[in-house]
Amino acid sequence: MADITLTINGFEVTVPKGSTIMEAADAASIHIPRLCYHPKLSIQGACRVCVVEVEGMNKLVASCCYPAEDGMNVRTNTPEVLRLRRDIVELLIDNHPEDCNTCERDGNCELQRLARDMGIRERLFAGERKRYEKDTSSPALIRDPEKCVLCGRCVRICGEVQEAACLSQVNRGFSTVVMPAHDAPFAETVCIGCGQCVKVCPTAAFVEKDSTREFLAALEDPEMIVVMQTAPAVRAAIGEEFGFEPGVAWEGKMFAAQRRLGVDVVFDTQFAADLTIMEEAAEFVERFTKGGPLPNITSCCPGWIKYAEHFHPDLLPHLSTAKSPMSMQGSIVKSYWAEKMDVDPSRIYSVAIMPCTAKKFEATREELGDDGMPAVDCVLTTREFGWVMKHMGIDFTTLPDEEPDSPLGESTGAAAIFGATGGVTEAALRTAYWMAFGEDLPEDAIEFKQVRGLQGLRLAEVPFGEATVRIAVAHGLGAANEILDRIERGEVELDFIEVMACPGGCIGGGGQPYDGEGKMPLDEETLRLRAQALYGLDSERKLRCSHHNPDIQRIYEEYLGKPLSHRAHELLHTYYYPRVPLGIRPQEAQV
Amino acid sequence: MLYQREALDSPQWWQGLDEMIEREREANPDSWQTALIPVLHYVQDCFGYVPAKAINHVAQALGVPASYVCGVASFYSYFSLEPRGAYTISVCQGTACFVRGSQSVLDEVCRQLDVKPGETTPDMLFTVSDSARCLGACGQAPVMMIDDDVHANVQPNEVQDILAGYIAEARREMQAREELIEIDARAQHE
């Protein structure tokens, strides 16, 4: 495409035709403040924070949606522009609660940063402001419309990227509010709990349901044995809570910190990730060789599972019946480990550190527990884990490296990569090959680079003995819908589909650290670095296939028999059922 | 106008709605937004409001999330998400009407009906609008509209008689409807 040249603040910049003024300014290292704009979402142009002056125009224009033109003369920081921008943010703040000190997003709020950069030092209009109740009905998320600045990022990510479309802006003018259909309680809506709204929200209008208080109470309870597990993606991001750059897996410090919190037993979800692979790969080999149902679709992601129950009930028989690693670990801790240690499972308080808000919902699913006793009692997000460490005075940065406890802590490289999109597929292929042919993949064929990366939807064909396995890897539910539609239209036939609800997979989960100053939420470079940290763990491990994990071999010998055995089915597999939330289809009961 | 809200329980009404949605879909294949508005108008005109059940049905039939339909239906003041009375009363609060005493007309309407602006009488006969800005008939100020009827130069002491006219009309209509139902029942019986 042809290039155009314009002048911004007296400096010339050349950009491709079709760029917006904001993009041109970014290219010229000129930062225009922004609020409703997000590079991964459609342009809304609603907040007007990004207004600039264009020579020859009598009004200021919103630079996020105004196309740059050849020869244009733009000024982004004249006194008038700065004053107007400040007024716009000031008005937003005047309609916002004055509770920064006690707000969850204190120190990590885009509105706060904007106010600081604009130089807003007082509130001018202390009149009426909007008042709404918080919606705390969902086990995963809290919606607090009072904090909302109506940027519409949540509405757009929910509709455009996740295609759940739970949210919309309702009413108008001063009464406008973001809400689900019919203002239904969140727990009854199509919300899948993925938490991407939390990630893109510039304020605290969406946050995760807090579980730190119950966790701290359990730590203090002398009767309870607190057993912890931590998902792969958490170690790739937890350092960011303490100011480290992404790109390093902080495994050792993470385990050390958990002991110093007073956790009794430090296990690792990666053990159960290896266990998941044993069951899921066995299931896939059986379905692949005995004819179906194919494609076999992964089931580790709780957001995707709820989404499938809402929107693709016909596909439920295709989902792997294997529980997620978190729930497998929970079940095994309260059965195998409890028996081994001779403790009453009701004394075990099972805590999972997850990059995910939907896991909080998963933990409440009755069918995953045992007769009313949940497999996992408490789920903390990566952010909550970071806060708990700060709260308890753990100096994460200087901790030594430690190992997790045995026997549910050991893991292979295959388990570490679960946290990045494509990782489950790669891990499953390594073990499925061994299960199907009785021998390991050659050393140089163990990495499946074709399923790695951050493209929303990736297709690959992998040789599998004489046959070929046709694979799709999707992250972001819009990408999942795309491949499912293509299957329905008969355009593509597949054997295996991996779906992760969040862009990037679990490393981009709704419970991961907020992107800090100077970064937009969902920053792709951050995702790439977090993934790199996990692939690094994999290549450093001596054992890189789940079936090589000695503790996995032992649990099958001692307890489970073999994959898909009766006992494995009882403890490690589950079922799904269609859900009809408010607003999906017309039903008498809904009115 | 008296709404026949029983139709909400009638399969024929929903079938009619489906046919209308299909027509709008075909006429506007590229824009659900364009198809949605006339459909919502139709529902509003049938019942005096857009019931939640209809929102879900329309959303499903147009292949649009129910949250989006709620967003559209709540944006336009023409649509109501709560049942409105048979007659909607708008007392103009524009500048011209205001200086000629429309506030005391509105007060009298509310006093007569024992409701506040924005509320509906318990018998579902009248809704008093709380959002009537200039109705565009400043020469006849103060102006009151009841559904599509324009009442010009209204004085507070005329309000009672005007309302009585509508109450009588509603009675006649209800009576006629009951007679029709009776005739139907008799015809079926024979």
Q: How many CA atoms lie within 13 A of A337 on its CB side?
A: 27
CB A194 within 8 A of CB A162: yes
Extract the tokens encoding B182.
Answer: 């009776």
Extract the tokens encoding A472.
Answer: 């799709």
When pLDDT is cut at 50, 70 and 90, the band that residue A322 belongs to is very high
Active-site pick, A47, A154, A197, A300: A300
Extract the tokens encoding B132.
Answer: 């009537």
Chain B nearest C-alpha distance from A104 (Å): 27
The candidate with the shortest Cα–Cα distance to A141, out of A215, A82, A205, A86, is A205
Residues A265 and A366 in one domain: yes
Question: Taking CB atoms and an 8 Å cutoff, what residues of chain A touch B60?
Answer: 584-586
| Residue of higher predicted confidence among B186 and A255 | A255
The candidate with the shortest Cα–Cα distance to A476, out of A530, A427, A527, A513, is A527
Does residue A202 lie in a domain region? yes
Active-site pick, A199, A306, A359, A360: A359
What residues contact A396, with CB distance under 8 A and at least 6 apart? Answer: A238, A239, A241, A242, A250, A253, A257, A389
Q: What pLDDT shows up at residue A272?
A: 97
Q: What is the CA radius of gyration of chain A?
A: 25
State the CATH number of the domain containing residue A33: 3.10.20.740
Chain B nearest C-alpha distance from A274 (Å): 38
pLDDT digits (tens, 9 = 90+) for A523-532: 899 999 999 9
Question: Taking CB atoms and an 8 Å cutoff, what residues of chain A touch B66?
Answer: 181-182, 582-584
Residues A252 and A386 in one domain: yes
Which of A44, A143, A166, A170 to probe the B interface (max B CBs under 10 A)? A170
pLDDT over threshold 90, residue A64 = yes
Contact across the interface for A586 and B71, Cβ inside 8 Å: no
Kindly list the structural domains of chain B, giving each domain's residue range(s) and its CATH number in brackets, ordered by start: 8-75 (1.10.10), 87-183 (3.40.30.10)
- In chain B, % of residues over pLDDT 70: 99
Helix axes B52-62, B11-27, angle to 10 degrees: 40
- In chain A, % of residues over pLDDT 70: 98
**How far does chain A reach from its first CA to its final CA, in angstroms?**
53
Number of structural domains found in chain A = 3
CA–CA–CA angle A448, A453, A458 (5° rounding): 80
The candidate with the shortest Cα–Cα distance to A348, out of A366, A332, A371, is A332
A362 in active site: yes
Q: What pLDDT shows up at residue B131?
A: 76
Euclidean distance between CA atoms A317 and A571, whole angstroms: 19
pLDDT digits (tens, 9 = 90+) for A498-513: 999 999 999 999 999 9
Q: What is the DSSP letter of A134?
A: -
Partner-chain residue, chosen from B51, B59, B75, that has the shortest CB–CB distance to A172: B75
Chain B nearest C-alpha distance from A129 (Å): 20
Euclidean distance between CA atoms A357 and A366, whole angstroms: 18
| Rounded alpha-carbon distances, angstroms, from residue A152 to A155, A167, A171, A205, A237 | 5, 9, 14, 11, 27
Residues A168 and A310 in one domain: no
* Closest residue on chain B to A160 (Cα): B65
Euclidean distance between CA atoms B58 and B69, whole angstroms: 8
Extract the tokens encoding B39.
Answer: 């459909």
A191 in B contact zone (CB under 8 Å): no
Does residue A586 lie in a domain region? no
Contact across the interface for B53 and A590, Cβ inside 8 Å: yes
Phi, psi torsion values for A177, nearest 5 degrees: -150, 145
What residues contact B36, with CB distance under 8 A and at least 6 apart? Answer: B24, B58, B62, B64, B69, B72
Euclidean distance between CA atoms A314 and A332, whole angstroms: 30
pLDDT digits (tens, 9 = 90+) for A239-268: 999 999 999 999 999 999 999 999 999 999
A542 in active site: no
Residues A72 and A113 in one domain: no
Residues A145 and A63 in one domain: no
* Last residue within a domain, chosen from A145, A174, A208: A208
Euclidean distance between CA atoms A565 and A448, whole angstroms: 29
Contact across the interface for B56 and A590, Cβ inside 8 Å: yes
CA–CA–CA angle B166, B169, B170 (5° rounding): 90
Greatest mean pLDDT among A334-338, A585-589, B54-58, B81-85 lies in A334-338
pLDDT over threshold 70, residue B119 = yes
CB A265 within 8 A of CB A404: no
Average pLDDT over residues B119-134: 89
| Residue of higher predicted confidence among A13 and A173 | A13
Q: A378-381 and A348-354 as β-strands: parallel, antiparallel, unpaired?
A: parallel
Contact across the interface for B56 and A172, Cβ inside 8 Å: no
Contact across the interface for B52 and A170, Cβ inside 8 Å: no
Which of A160, A182, A183, A186 to probe the B interface (max B CBs under 10 A)? A182
Residues A43 and A187 in one domain: no
Q: What pLDDT shows up at residue B155?
A: 95
pLDDT digits (tens, 9 = 90+) for A166-197: 999 999 888 999 999 999 999 999 999 999 99
* Closest residue on chain B to A311 (Cα): B65
When pLDDT is cut at 50, 70 and 90, the band that residue A583 belongs to is low
Q: What pLDDT shows up at residue B136?
A: 87
A148 in active site: no
Residues A132 and A245 in one domain: no
Question: Taking CB atoms and an 8 Å cutoff, what residues of chain B touch A180?
Answer: 67
Extract the tokens encoding A554.
Answer: 């032992």
Q: What pLDDT shows up at residue A352?
A: 98
Does residue A92 lie in a domain region? no
> What are A463's strand-pairing partners?
A468
Does residue A224 lie in a domain region? no
Please state the separation of Cα B76 from the chain's center in Å.
13
pLDDT digits (tens, 9 = 90+) for B67-99: 999 999 999 988 999 898 899 999 999 999 999
Chain B nearest C-alpha distance from A529 (Å): 35
Average pLDDT, chain A: 94
Q: What pLDDT shows up at residue A488?
A: 86
Q: B149-151 and B144-146 as β-strands: parallel, antiparallel, unpaired?
A: antiparallel
Contact across the interface for A170 and B71, Cβ inside 8 Å: yes
pLDDT digits (tens, 9 = 90+) for A513-557: 998 888 888 889 999 999 999 999 999 999 999 999 999 999 999
Phi, psi torsion values for A25, nearest 5 degrees: -65, -40
Extract the tokens encoding B34.
Answer: 């364009």
Residues A265 and A412 in one domain: yes
- DSSP string spanning B99-166? HTTHHHHHHHHHHHHT--TT-B-TTSSEEE-S-----S-GGG-S-EEETTEEE-S--GGGHHHHHHHH
Chain B nearest C-alpha distance from A179 (Å): 8
Q: Which helix (H) or strand (E) holds A496?
A: strand A496-500
Positive or negative, the CA dihedral A215, A219, A221, A224 is: positive
State the CATH number of the domain containing residue A127: 3.30.70.20
Active-site pick, A362, A410, A447, A498: A362
pLDDT digits (tens, 9 = 90+) for A370-414: 888 999 999 999 999 999 999 999 999 999 999 999 999 999 999
A283 in active site: yes
| Burial track A487-512 (b if 16+ CB lie within 10 A, e otherwise) | beeeeeebbbbbbbbbbbbbbbbbbb
Does residue A351 lie in a domain region? yes
pLDDT over threshold 50, residue A588 = no
* Closest residue on chain A to B72 (Cα): A170
Does residue A82 lie in a domain region? no
Residues A390 and A474 in one domain: yes
User: Can you give the pTM of this predicted structure?
Assistant: 0.91
- DSSP string spanning A340-378? HHT--GGGEEEEEEES-SHHHHHTT-GGGSBTTB-S-SE
Active-site pick, A320, A324, A350, A546: A320
A300 in active site: yes
* Last residue within a domain, chosen from A60, A77, A94: A77
Chain B nearest C-alpha distance from A153 (Å): 15
- DSSP string spanning A249-276? --HHHHHHHHHHHT-SEE--HHHHHHHH
CA–CA–CA angle A132, A138, A142 (5° rounding): 45
A154 in B contact zone (CB under 8 Å): no
CB A205 within 8 A of CB A214: no
Euclidean distance between CA atoms A364 and A377, whole angstroms: 8
CB A348 within 8 A of CB A329: no
pLDDT digits (tens, 9 = 90+) for A420-479: 999 999 999 999 999 999 999 998 899 999 999 999 999 999 999 899 999 999 999 999
Contact across the interface for B65 and A171, Cβ inside 8 Å: no
Helix and strand numbers (H, E) in chain A are 20, 17
Q: What pLDDT shows up at residue A183?
A: 93
Contact across the interface for B56 and A159, Cβ inside 8 Å: no
Q: What pLDDT shows up at residue A425?
A: 96
Tokens 């800090």, located at residue: A516
Residues A364 and A460 in one domain: yes
pLDDT over threshold 80, residue B2 = no
Does residue A384 lie in a domain region? yes
State the CATH number of the domain containing residue A466: 3.40.950.10
Residues A375 and A488 in one domain: yes
pLDDT over threshold 90, residue A580 = no
Which of B47, B56, B62, B67 to probe the A interface (max A CBs under 10 A)? B67
Interface A-B, measured as beta-carbon pairs within 8 A, has a size of 64
Euclidean distance between CA atoms B151 and B131, whole angstroms: 17
Peptide bond into A293 cis (omega under 30): yes
A506 in active site: yes
Average pLDDT over residues B101-130: 93
CB A272 within 8 A of CB A557: no
Using CA atoms in the order B5, B7, B9, B10, what is the torsion angle rounded to 10 degrees? 170
3 state DSSP class of A235: helix
A443 in active site: no
**What does the longest C-alpha to C-alpha distance in chain B come to?**
62
Contact across the interface for A591 and B51, Cβ inside 8 Å: yes
A286 in active site: no
3 state DSSP class of A7: strand
CA–CA–CA angle A6, A12, A16 (5° rounding): 50
A64 in B contact zone (CB under 8 Å): no
Euclidean distance between CA atoms A537 and A249, whole angstroms: 7
Does residue A318 lie in a domain region? yes
Residues A148 and A35 in one domain: no
Domain that holds residue A424: 232-572
